[in-house]
Structure 1
Amino acid sequence: MTAQAQMKFLTGSTMHHVLTMTATGAIGLIAVFVVDLLNLFYISRLGHKELAAAIGYSGTLLFFVTSIAIGISIAATALTSRALGRGDRHQAKQLAGASLILMVAIMVCLIVLTLPFLNQLIALLGAADETARLAVRFMYIVLPSSILLGLGMCLSALLRSVGDARRAMYVTLGAGAATAVLDPIFIFGFNLGIDGAAIATSLARVVMVVLGLHGVLKVHGLFAWPPLSVFKRELKPFMAIALPAVLTQIATPVGNAFVTQSIAQFGDSAVAGWAVIGRVIPVAFVVLFALSGSIGAILGQNYGAKRFDRLRSTMNDSMKITVIYVLVVWLLLALGRNLLADAFGAQGTAHELITFFCLFVAGSFLFNGILFVSNTAFNNLGFAFYSTALNWGRATLGVIPFVWLGAQWYGAKGALAGYGLGVVFFGVLAGVLCFRVLRQLEKQT
């Protein structure tokens, strides 16, 4: 593929680029969400509650590993797409190579540091007895394959940096399809239970890497072994993006943990309702998550080329998509709120919470969406600290006081309303800061 083709975001409609990248990203994310549900579904069919609980505890621990991989991938996209935007393909290839090597090195260090303490970490999460033993066993198989997960995520990010949304989607879809096929074979066919689920997950990550390598190496030739001088020069700017991005990713589960704790005081039915809402959110608002993960390459290339008109256009288009999408989804959720609650067999407080979320709280994702896309802009334009500060502000100041007061005044519904209201300020602030950053960069240039 020609160098000009790998700078595709510098020409053409920014709205077209945003829509194309987001659509393919959304398809890949939906595959991930569905496969995760299938994995848990297959395990639950074995009839032992300890198995499903073990998967849950393992997932919590693996989330932090995934967050680190996401942070490194964000840095890889930002730096590589900037180099492509400047027309420096040689540097882009070296940056891609350095990103992949750094990903492997960091994942290896993380695994080496984590494996000896798995028992203590699982116990710290609250697991005990047979559940803890199963969770540790699952982690011993899956954790080493985090190297493959990190590589696959980084390869997908590099494909997005050259604008190859289709092959970036194939990386995720391929892993999802492999898991969907291998899970029942290893869990039921080979009668391996939770060990089978762990093996299937690891093998699916092999598929992820193979597909990613084909796109990055064979199709785009986007790899060069970086000399030591490149490592020394690029490590600081790389980590300046990666570290805040990791911290940004970790903020969300911290806030959600407080919401869960606040709702738990109103009984198991309330927790069940919140659990359903937690599954509805990523599926209903998948486009917002895909949008924030897809526009980084568009911003990076145009920033590298100093096309500030296209940077503004990209952000304007992203904001328009966010508003229209959230309003449509909010309307659909409001109209189908009772059908949705009934589909999950929700009763009592659970039913009330689900319908309340669909009717009122879902609208707050308008501000979540603005926060998401603004954070992507900060990460790719050299202001990663803003995304970290805003996300942690949202997860603490935008959650704890609002949820606590809501729970005190109006019970479980009040806690849920507080969760929605708390994001309004941070969403507005993120949007204002985002366009201020664009004006500041243009003036400096």
Structure 2
Amino acid sequence: MGEARPAGTAPSAHFVTGSTLRHVVVMGATGSVGLMAIFVVDLLSLLYIARLGDPTLTAAVGFATIVQIFAVSINIGMMIAVGALVSRALGRGDVGQARRLAASALVLSVAGSAAVTALLLPLLDPALRLIGAGPETVPAARTFLWIALPSTMLMAIGMGFSGVLRAIGDARRAMMVTLAGAAVTAVLDPVLIFGLGLGIEGAAITVVLARLAFAWVGYSGAVSVHNMVARPDAAAILADAGPILRVALPTVLTNLAPPVASAFLAHVMAGFGTATVAGNAVVDRVVPVAFGGLFALSGAVGPILGQNWGAGRFDRMRAALRDAALVTGLYVAVVWLALFLGRGPLTALFGLEGAGADLLGFFCLAGGAIWFFNGLLFLGNASFNNLGFPLAASALNWGRATLGTMPPALLGAHLAGPEGAMAGMGIGSALFGVMGLALAFRVVGVLERREAVAGLEADGRQTVERPVS
């Protein structure tokens, strides 16, 4: 699983054999290491900004992150699309199609990222005000975004290569892609923020350089080592655009829902003052560090499902979903205990006081329950995106972002302040999480019945066409 392959040699679709639990754990664990490394250094970056002693800057980075998520969602959608299509092609043994689809998807991903960046940059001020940024935080957030936002095109390249590596099962090199960006951030953030005195501008410059490393290491693994990305061809891109966008557009739509929910929650929190906004910004950075394994797990299960669908192994698809749900529960239990025990030191570390400290403390007490159900929804979405039902993922994610977030968050805020808003959002997560996993198993059954019907029809045609002796 790591050796270089000459062009035209099909990588082994090894997810169709062996223990599904082992595949889930290995892919999820390696993905977690890479993702959580990025999330940890992002948290450190926010900590460095917080150490500057100005809560306005901490809040500004929080608002800037929300805006960036909209652009990053395009990249995530394209990464999921390339992983789904490449893994499916490899499951059928068609390496040529897999390489061509990878190239086409990468080009489309960069184009989409460039378009979103060009749209957002002129609208930064109204966008920041819309999600609750006040006049004191808008200038700092705007400065950060003008530097960092264009680098989402580099991130599109890196995430596309990472999706290719996961599709072929090279979990180690996919992990190294994200570790490279994390390493650059860990080294340069304190140098630029404090050493050169660049403050929030230094944090934004580090984001750009980290994404450059992200793209370079991804290229080295997917192209130089595995040769799994063909040379882009205009005719192929046009031919592949339809199949790619049929997966990518609903997936992008799905991934735009969480930032909408986060933006709405940030708007609600802004009504309770700057201290609450700063506390919510810390929660937003703690969440990926604490529960980054759930993001990685949903990314891990997709290629496993895709390869087994291509091979017609529906029993293994069900087993992979069951194993992933089990790992989700065990992971959340461990993280929840750690948050419970560490809520005091964590609050002190970021210098939060008053309402901000109360909000972070409540998250440490209740976040585990909320994110267990979010994890189940992630598994459902990964199944829908990789098995040809991306609109189901869009419907569930937007359902959670609207019906599952807005009314309960507003009601909770009215009854119990910022903590009530967070609790209300958690109730919506529970409903949609259970629904998502249940529907994922149903999708596997639908696909199995379709294949059985297709097989019977093929047998019937052969019987009719067979000459009578």
TM-score by length of 2: 0.85
1:310-368: CA deviation from partner (whole Å, max 9, x where unpaired): 21111111011112222333344445555555655666655555454444452232221
Tell me, which stretches of 5 or more residues in structure 1 are unaligned? none
Q: Which residue of 2 aligns with 1:162?
A: 168
Q: What CA distance in whole angstroms lies between the structure 2 residues aligned with 1:320 and 1:343?
A: 33
The answer on 1:278 being equivalent to 2:284 is yes
Deviates more, 1:46-55 or 1:386-395: 46-55
Q: What CA distance in whole angstroms lies between the structure 1 residues aligned with 2:274 and 2:148?
A: 31
Q: Which residue of 1 aligns with 2:187?
A: 181
The answer on 1:17 being equivalent to 2:23 is yes
Q: What CA distance in whole angstroms lies between the structure 2 residues aligned with 1:347 and 1:122?
A: 25
Q: Which residue of 1 aligns with 2:44?
A: 38
> Quick one: which amino acid aligns to residue 248 of structure 1?
T
Q: Which residue of 1 aligns with 2:455?
A: none
Q: Which residue of 1 aligns with 2:324?
A: 318
1:303 to 300, 306, 309: 309
Report the CA distance shift for 1:269/1:174 in structure 2 as closer, same or farther (over 3 A): closer
Q: How many residues were matched structurally?
A: 445
Q: Which residue of 1 aligns with 2:85?
A: 79
> Quick one: which amino acid aligns to residue 303 of structure 2?
A
Q: What CA distance in whole angstroms lies between the structure 1 residues aligned with 2:423 and 2:128?
A: 32
1:362 to 353, 364, 368: 368
Whether contact under 8 Å (2:66, 2:259) holds in the other structure is no
Q: What CA distance in whole angstroms lies between the structure 1 residues aligned with 2:267 and 2:136?
A: 24
Deviates more, 1:266-275 or 1:384-393: 266-275
Cα offset for 1:281?
Answer: 2.5
Q: Which residue of 1 aligns with 2:410?
A: 404
Q: What CA distance in whole angstroms lies between the structure 2 residues aligned with 1:318 and 1:39?
A: 31
Over aligned residue pairs, what C-alpha RMSD do you find? 2.8
1:356-415: CA deviation from partner (whole Å, max 9, x where unpaired): 444445223222111111100100001011111101111111122323333444444433
Q: Which residue of 2 aligns with 1:89?
A: 95
Report the CA distance shift for 1:323/1:51 in structure 2 as closer, same or farther (over 3 A): closer
Whether contact under 8 Å (2:11, 2:95) holds in the other structure is no
Cα offset for 1:226?
Answer: 4.9
Q: What CA distance in whole angstroms lies between the structure 1 residues aligned with 2:343 and 2:188?
A: 35
Report the CA distance shift for 1:435/1:340 in structure 2 as closer, same or farther (over 3 A): same
Q: Which residue of 1 aligns with 2:256?
A: 250
Q: What CA distance in whole angstroms lies between the structure 2 residues aligned with 1:295 and 1:59?
A: 27
Whether contact under 8 Å (1:95, 1:226) holds in the other structure is no
The answer on 1:103 being equivalent to 2:109 is yes
Report the CA distance shift for 1:300/1:412 in structure 2 as closer, same or farther (over 3 A): same
Deviates more, 1:213-222 or 1:124-133: 124-133
The DSSP-based 3-state class of the residue aligned with 1:285 is: helix
Q: What CA distance in whole angstroms lies between the structure 1 residues aligned with 2:60 and 2:276?
A: 22
Cα offset for 1:88?
Answer: 0.2
Report the CA distance shift for 1:413/1:27 in structure 2 as closer, same or farther (over 3 A): same
Q: What CA distance in whole angstroms lies between the structure 1 residues aligned with 2:39 and 2:212?
A: 19
Q: Which residue of 1 aligns with 2:212?
A: 206
Report the CA distance shift for 1:71/1:400 in structure 2 as closer, same or farther (over 3 A): same
The answer on 1:395 being equivalent to 2:401 is yes
Whether contact under 8 Å (2:89, 2:95) holds in the other structure is yes
> Quick one: which amino acid aligns to residue 317 of structure 1?
D
The answer on 1:440 being equivalent to 2:437 is no
Q: How does 1:318-337 map to 2 (within 5 A)?
A: 318-337=324-343
> Quick one: which amino acid aligns to residue 259 of structure 1?
L
Report the CA distance shift for 1:400/1:104 in structure 2 as closer, same or farther (over 3 A): closer
Cα offset for 1:227?
Answer: 4.3
Moved over 6 A (4+): none
Cα offset for 1:431?
Answer: 1.5
> Quick one: which amino acid aligns to residue 94 of structure 2?
D
Deviates more, 1:130-139 or 1:140-149: 130-139
The answer on 1:63 being equivalent to 2:69 is yes
Q: Which residue of 2 aligns with 1:384?
A: 390
Identity percentage of aligned residues? 49
Q: What CA distance in whole angstroms lies between the structure 1 residues aligned with 2:196 and 2:356?
A: 38
Cα offset for 1:78?
Answer: 0.6
Whether contact under 8 Å (2:59, 2:281) holds in the other structure is no
Cα offset for 1:194?
Answer: 3.8
Tell me, which stretches of 5 or more residues in structure 2 are unaligned? 452-469
